[in-house]
C-alpha cells in the first residue's frame, strides 16, 4: 500500500500528514501569540515596581534587613575595638 498524500486523512482517528515546512509554519504562528507580550510587559512592570520599592526602603532603619545589617556592623565594630584594645595591652606589656 502506498503512503497517503500530504493533507489527506489517515486511519480512523482522522490524523493528517503534513510537511515539515508546514509544521514549522504552524509552530511559528503559535509561538507568536498575544499572550507573550502581555506576560513580558507584566513581568517588566512587576520588576520596575520591585526596584522602586527597594529604592524607597533602602534608607529605612526599621526593617528586618536594616536591623540585620546594623547588628552585623555593630558586631564588626566591637571586634575591631577589642582587637585595638588587645594590641594596646600587648604594646604595654612589651614595654616592661
Task: Identify the residue whose cell numbers are 520599592.
Answer: 53
Angle at 71 between CA 70 and CA 76, to 5 degrees: 95
Closest to 63 measured CA to CA, from 73, 51, 54: 54
Domain boundaries, the chain: 1-32, 33-95
Does pTM top 0.75 for this prediction?
no
Q: What is the pLDDT of residues 38-95, one digit of tens each?
A: 788 899 999 999 999 989 988 888 989 889 999 999 999 999 999 999 999 999 998 8
DSSP per residue over 26-37, as a string? HHHHHHT-SHHH
Identify the sign of the CA torsion 35, 36, 37, 40: positive
Task: Identify the residue whose cell numbers are 511559528.
Answer: 28
Amino acid at each position: 500500500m502506498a503512503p497517503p498524500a500530504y493533507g489527506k486523512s489517515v486511519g480512523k482517528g482522522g490524523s493528517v500528514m503534513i510537511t515539515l515546512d508546514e509544521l514549522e509554519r504552524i509552530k511559528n504562528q503559535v509561538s507568536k501569540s498575544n499572550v507573550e507580550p502581555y506576560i513580558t510587559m507584566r513581568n517588566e512592570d512587576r520588576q520596575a515596581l520591585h526596584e522602586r520599592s527597594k529604592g524607597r526602603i533602602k534608607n529605612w532603619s526599621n526593617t528586618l534587613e536594616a536591623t540585620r545589617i546594623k547588628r552585623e556592623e555593630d558586631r564588626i565594630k566591637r571586634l575591631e575595638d577589642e582587637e585595638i584594645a588587645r594590641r594596646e595591652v600587648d604594646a604595654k606589656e612589651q614595654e616592661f
